């Protein structure tokens, strides 16, 4: 099979994964309107073609918080990545390190932060959720420090789990979920052998380590439901800012007013994100939400964005709309599921190539030259 785009990897992931896992990655909240709008609104952003600008000396490198990155992209936190490919988080970390971009380990990863960090991939970021068990949060922050995590990504848009109907239909949750998952796995022998058998243990590595007991996939939705915290408010978070001395990014900001709160809170960056359309269906796409947020606080902290990015061209569009860095969620997840680290290596190469083409044809030779002037 010839793989030349995210959509090829999506199809390959669908062929390889049991249905409950493909739908877990691919799906969004409710009617999935925001999921679709993320992609459609970004694709509708027109770029200004320029010619004869001599862009032979082109660089895709950038810097955040004094850290160099070879591309203006970061691999986003994706829970349960270790179910998509054998020890998937470790493979993602290797791919990111090889291409010189950061990888963000999720709180809800299969491999623990320590398992990933022991492979010494750099740069390593860690994503933390707001959870009821503040002891867990405190201990995770300490573990992140010990593991040499450079940047803390604090996800704030999950005070409640989004209504993801596909998960109930496919067997990630709902009646007879376990039996349905086993039946689906039997129809995907490649995945069943490589991940289902050789990829064990399938625990939530970070949480098992904290609880001192195994936590399986069946515990995932239950644990999340019991532990996400709708009572959280800005003032409850101050201890985290006090504790974490390194760069801290708030992920899940969609409104300029919240962006101003993020500045007051002392965040070093924020991610304009609707969680890939997995939380509030009907929320603005990030292509629409980003420009007013960049206008409001772009001079005060580093602006990142995600949701709907499927190509290097999309990365250039997001930079033109005001972002300084772009997180890749599903694009990396599909590639990982389809072909492991090699898939993610290739996906990053495809993105880099597409960025180069887009930059050449819009007449810019470096990432910091990309701004609204290249929008048509």
Residue 205, Ramachandran bin (φ over 0: left; ψ between -120 and 50: alpha; else beta): alpha
What residues does 271 pair with on adjacent strands? 251, 304
Question: Smallest distance, Å, CB 53 to ligand FNR?
Answer: 30
E runs forming strands in 130-179: 151-155
Which has the closest alpha carbon to 162: 283, 317, 72? 283
Residues ≥6 apart with Cβ < 8 Å to 250: 154, 156, 262, 265, 267, 269, 270, 271
Decide: is 188 part of the binding site for ligand FNR (CB under 6 A).
Answer: no
Kindly state the DSSP code that residue 294 receives in the 8-state scheme: H
Does the protein bind ligand FNR through residue 333 (CB under 6 A)?
yes
What three-state secondary structure class fits 127? Answer: strand
- Peptide bond before 201: cis, by omega within 30 degrees of 0? yes
SS3 content of the chain, % helix, strand, coil (to 5): 50, 10, 40
Q: Tell me whether residue 136 or residue 364 sits nearer to ligand FNR (CB atom).
A: 136
Hey, what are 220's tokens?
Answer: 């995932």
Give the CB-nearest residue to ligand FNR: 329
Query: Helices then strands (H, E): number in the chain?
Result: 16, 10
Pick the closer one to ligand FNR by CB: 337 or 364. Answer: 337
Q: Is 68 a catalytic residue?
A: no
* Part of the chain binding ligand FNR (CB under 6 A), chosen from 76-84, 94-102, 134-142, 242-250: 76-84
Q: State the DSSP code for 66.
A: T
* 309 binds ligand FNR per the rule CB under 6 A: yes
291 binds ligand FNR (CB under 6 A): no
Contacts of 293 (CB under 8 A, 6+ apart): 253, 254, 255, 256, 259, 270, 272, 303, 322
**Sole binder of ligand FNR in the list 275, 288, 317, 324 (CB under 6 A):** 275
Residue 256 beta carbon to ligand FNR: minimum distance, rounded to whole angstroms: 19
Q: Does 173 bind ligand FNR (CB under 6 A)?
A: no
Binding mask 88-127 for ligand FNR (x = CB under 6 A): ------------------x-x------------------x
- x/- mask, ligand FNR, residues 310-329, rule CB under 6 A, reads -----------------xxx
Our finding on whether 166 is near ligand FNR (CB under 6 A) is no
Task: Tell me: does residue 307 bind ligand FNR (CB under 6 A).
Answer: yes
Nearer to ligand FNR, 105 or 301 (CB): 105
Q: Identify the three-state secondary structure at position 125.
A: strand
Q: Which stretch binds ligand FNR (CB under 6 A): 12-20, 169-177, 293-301, 303-311?
A: 303-311
Q: What does the binding site for ligand FNR look like in residue numbers (CB under 6 A)?
A: 24-25, 38, 76-79, 106, 108, 127, 155, 251, 273, 275-276, 306-309, 327-331, 333
Task: Kindly list the catalytic residues.
Answer: 275
């Amino acid at each position: 099979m010839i793989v030349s785009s995210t959509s090829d990897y999506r199809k390959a992931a669908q062929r390889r994964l049991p249905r409950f896992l493909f739908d877990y990655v691919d799906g969004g909240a409710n009617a999935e309107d925001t999921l679709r709008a993320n992609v459609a609104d970004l694709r509708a952003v027109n770029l200004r073609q320029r010619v004869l600008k001599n862009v032979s000396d082109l660089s895709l490198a950038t810097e955040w918080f004094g850290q160099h990155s070879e591309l203006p992209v970061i691999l986003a936190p994706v829970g349960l990545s270790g179910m998509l490919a054998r020890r998937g988080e470790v493979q993602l970390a290797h791919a990111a390190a090889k291409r010189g971009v950061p990888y963000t380990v999720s709180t809800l990863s299969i491999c623990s932060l320590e398992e990933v960090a022991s492979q010494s991939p750099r740069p390593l970021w860690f994503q933390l959720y707001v959870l009821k068990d503040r002891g867990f949060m405190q201990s995770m922050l300490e573990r992140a420090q010990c593991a040499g995590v450079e940047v803390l990504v604090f996800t704030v848009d999950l005070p409640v789990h989004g209504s993801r109907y596909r998960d109930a239909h496919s067997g990630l949750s709902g009646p007879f979920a376990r039996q349905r998952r086993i039946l689906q796995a039997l129809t995907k022998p490649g995945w069943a052998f490589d991940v289902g058998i050789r990829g064990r243990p399938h625990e939530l590595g970070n949480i098992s380590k904290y609880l001192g007991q195994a936590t399986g996939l069946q515990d995932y939705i239950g644990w999340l439901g019991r532990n996400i915290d709708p009572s959280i408010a800005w003032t409850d978070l101050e201890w985290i800012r006090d504790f974490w001395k390194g760069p801290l990014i708030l992920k899940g900001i969609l409104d300029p007013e919240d962006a101003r709160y993020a500045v007051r809170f002392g965040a070093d960056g924020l991610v304009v994100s609707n969680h890939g359309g997995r939380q509030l269906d009907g929320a603005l796409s990030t292509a629409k939400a980003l420009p007013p947020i960049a206008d409001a606080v772009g001079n005060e902290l580093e602006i990142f964005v995600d949701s709907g990015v499927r190509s290097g061209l999309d990365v250039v569009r997001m930079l033109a709309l005001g972002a300084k860095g772009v997180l890749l969620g599903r694009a990396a997840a599909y590639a990982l599921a389809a072909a492991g680290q090699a898939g993610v290596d290739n996906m990053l190469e495809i993105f880099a190539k597409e960025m180069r083409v887009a930059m050449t044809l819009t007449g810019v030779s470096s990432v910091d030259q990309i701004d609204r002037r290249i929008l048509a």
